[in-house]
């Protein structure tokens, strides 16, 4: 049998799997893109298994070895995929011919998961079997004690995990506040201790979590999103780690005064009456009071809770006599709070498209928002933040990968379907700033709304 023929098929399988792992970072399991790409990978494996009974490859020092030959080009173009494999300390993977789709999907999830390997006293293959995976086997990369310690230090939990952990802590905090119990605020500092370094290390993924994740304004997701966006904007401004920590605490607590507002008002889907609106507005003051009386939070948190509905031009609430301008922290949180509220609270119509949010916020530049901060905010996350699906003028569909600071309308995107609407076998990244002699090669026409999940109204 021709080895190079099997290598071509092998290469396709690996590229499909690499694309699938990338997409799984952005999309939930049941998203059509994931289902389609899993099917595509199964199809490539099916073709491969017509030639061979097993697909096996080795990863040594960032190099893919197939049929005893290092595959330099493939290794170079799949560096992220390789780091995913070596991050789990796997040296060799074998897929068996009868591999079912469910096992493949489970295995991909394990590769992307936060569990560290090798697990104490349990082998990879034993672990895979315990997860119901019988048609994939993995061998350990043998590392010395010193290497293992280094790896342990450099592979922190992934941002999704941080987000979930933070949410759980915030939910506990909220419940304790609502039931009038004394709260252990160490939780909050614990979240911030996790969050700030993650913001500095996982910029793009956190933008995605902070801008795309489904939520509604009154849930803890809102607090978490605002904290992430605030830390991102603070980091873009070059603020120190210590200030970023304080900013994060302030953002996480900015709406804590809502725990003092009756839930009939908080949860009311219709427009509030004038009377109810007055009660709602007291959350700024109530929050500031709570934080101040607690006595262990940075002063910045009290100020932000009090000022986050005050506008750049002096309007807003509560009406205060002010001798000094709004604090920088409050001007930051006003932007991130408003952005998140707009992105998530169209109860009956689904999320507001990001381009519409941008237009609306631009209209309020200099009135509600500090103009310079607003510019830096959109330079940081782009008009179309990472993870958003967009339609291009070429009729291709793409996922936004990274904002371009020099042109907020032209991020780097990954093309996933071609002009005819067919799935691209190997999704590829392009910069929308690329031009030919006449004009830009590709431009965004519109963002595509995410699939409405069953639990969303």
| Strands 54-60 vs 63-66: parallel, antiparallel or unpaired | antiparallel
Q: Is 223 exposed, middle or buried (0-12, 13-18, 19+ CB in 10 A)?
A: buried
Q: How far is the CB of 340 from Fe ion (least distance, A)?
A: 7
How many CA within 13 A on the CB side of residue 117?
A: 25
Q: How far is the CB of 307 from Fe ion (least distance, A)?
A: 10
Nearer to Fe ion, 219 or 394 (CB): 219
DSSP string, 70-104: E-HHHHHHTHHHHHHHHHTTEEEEEEETT--HHHH
User: What are the helix (H) ranges across 27-158?
Assistant: 32-49, 72-77, 79-87, 101-112, 124-130, 145-154
Nearer to Fe ion, 100 or 314 (CB): 314
Nearer to Fe ion, 204 or 337 (CB): 337
Which residue, 305, 326, 306, is CA-closest to 226? 305
Q: How far is the CB of 223 from Fe ion (least distance, A)?
A: 8
Q: How far is the CB of 392 from Fe ion (least distance, A)?
A: 34
Q: Cα(44)–Cα(55) distance, rounded to whole angstroms? A: 11
CA distances from 328 to 199, 301, 334, 335, 374 (A): 19, 12, 10, 11, 12
DSSP 323: S
Nearer to Fe ion, 221 or 337 (CB): 337
Q: How far is the CB of 283 from Fe ion (least distance, A)?
A: 6
Please name the helix (run of DSSP H) or strand (run of DSSP E) that holds residue 424, with its range, or none: strand 423-431
416-425 contacts, C-beta under 8 A, 24 or more apart = 416/23, 416/33, 416/389, 419/394, 419/395, 420/395, 421/395, 421/397, 423/36, 423/37, 423/40, 425/12, 425/15, 425/16, 425/40
- Structure-token pair, residue 110: 């394990």
**Scanning the structure block, which residue is given the tokens 């252990």?**
184
State the sign of the Cα–Cα–Cα–Cα dihedral 36, 39, 41, 43.
negative
Q: How far is the CB of 262 from Fe ion (least distance, A)?
A: 16
Q: How far is the CB of 453 from Fe ion (least distance, A)?
A: 23
Q: How far is the CB of 49 from Fe ion (least distance, A)?
A: 53
Nearer to Fe ion, 205 or 337 (CB): 337
- Structure-token pair, residue 365: 């530049």
Q: How far is the CB of 58 from Fe ion (least distance, A)?
A: 51
Which residue, 299, 273, 278, is CA-closest to 288? 299
Q: How far is the CB of 143 from Fe ion (least distance, A)?
A: 46
Nearer to Fe ion, 14 or 227 (CB): 227
Q: How far is the CB of 175 from Fe ion (least distance, A)?
A: 19
Q: How far is the CB of 252 from Fe ion (least distance, A)?
A: 11
Nearer to Fe ion, 7 or 292 (CB): 292
Nearer to Fe ion, 74 or 300 (CB): 300
Nearer to Fe ion, 210 or 411 (CB): 210
Residue 19, classed as helix, strand or coil, is helix
Contacting positions for Fe ion (CB under 5 A) = 255, 337
Which residue, 258, 251, 255, 250, is CA-closest to 178? 258
DSSP string, 376-414: HHHHHH-SS-TT-EEEETTS-EEEEEE--TT-TT--EEE
Contact 287, 337 (CB under 8 A): no
Nearer to Fe ion, 307 or 389 (CB): 307
Nearer to Fe ion, 77 or 282 (CB): 282
Nearer to Fe ion, 223 or 399 (CB): 223
CA torsion angle 178 216 214 249 (round to 10): -50
């Amino acid at each position: 049998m021709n080895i190079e023929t099997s290598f071509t098929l092998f290469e396709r399988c690996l590229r499909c799997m690499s694309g699938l792992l990338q997409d799984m970072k952005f999309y939930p399991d049941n998203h059509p893109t994931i289902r389609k790409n899993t099917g595509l990978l199964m199809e490539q494996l099916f073709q491969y298994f017509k030639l061979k009974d097993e697909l096996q490859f080795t990863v040594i020092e960032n190099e893919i070895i197939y049929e005893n030959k290092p595959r330099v080009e493939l290794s170079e173009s799949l560096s992220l995929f390789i780091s995913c494999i070596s991050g789990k300390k796997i040296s060799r993977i074998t897929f068996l011919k009868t591999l079912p789709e469910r096992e493949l999907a489970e295995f991909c999830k394990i590769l992307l998961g936060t569990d560290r390997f090798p697990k104490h006293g349990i082998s990879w293959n034993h672990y895979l079997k315990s997860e119901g995976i019988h048609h994939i086997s993995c061998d350990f990369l043998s590392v010395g004690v010193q290497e293992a310690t280094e790896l342990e230090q450099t592979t922190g939990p992934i941002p999704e995990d941080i987000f979930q952990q933070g949410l759980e802590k915030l939910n506990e905090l909220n419940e304790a506040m609502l039931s009038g119990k004394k709260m252990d605020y160490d939780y909050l500092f614990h979240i911030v201790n996790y969050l700030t370094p993650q913001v500095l290390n996982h910029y793009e993924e956190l933008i995605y979590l902070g801008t795309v994740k489904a939520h509604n304004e009154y849930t803890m997701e809102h607090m978490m999103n605002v904290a992430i966006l605030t830390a991102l904007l603070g980091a873009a401004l070059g603020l120190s780690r210590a200030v970023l920590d304080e900013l994060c605490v302030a953002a996480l607590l900015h709406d804590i005064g809502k725990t003092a507002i009756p839930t009939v008002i908080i949860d009311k889907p219709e427009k509030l009456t004038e009377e109810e609106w007055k009660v709602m507005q007291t959350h700024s003051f109530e929050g500031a009071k709570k934080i101040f009386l607690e006595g262990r939070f940075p002063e910045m948190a009290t100020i932000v809770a009090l000022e986050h509905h005050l506008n750049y031009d002096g309007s807003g609430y509560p009406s205060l006599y002010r001798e000094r301008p709004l604090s920088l922290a409050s001007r930051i949180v006003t932007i991130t709070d408003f952005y998140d509220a707009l992105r998530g609270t169209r109860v009956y119509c689904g999320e507001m498209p990001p381009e519409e949010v941008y237009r609306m916020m631009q209209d309020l530049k200099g009135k509600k928002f500090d103009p310079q901060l607003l510019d830096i905010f959109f330079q940081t996350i782009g008009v179309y933040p990472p993870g958003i699906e967009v339609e291009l003028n070429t009729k291709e569909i793409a996922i936004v990968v990274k904002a371009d600071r020099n042109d907020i309308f032209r991020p780097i995107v990954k093309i996933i379907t071609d002009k005819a609407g067919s799935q691209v076998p190997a999704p590829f990244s392009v910069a929308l700033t690329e031009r030919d002699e006449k004009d830009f090669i590709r431009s965004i026409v519109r963002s595509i709304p995410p699939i409405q999940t069953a639990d969303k109204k």
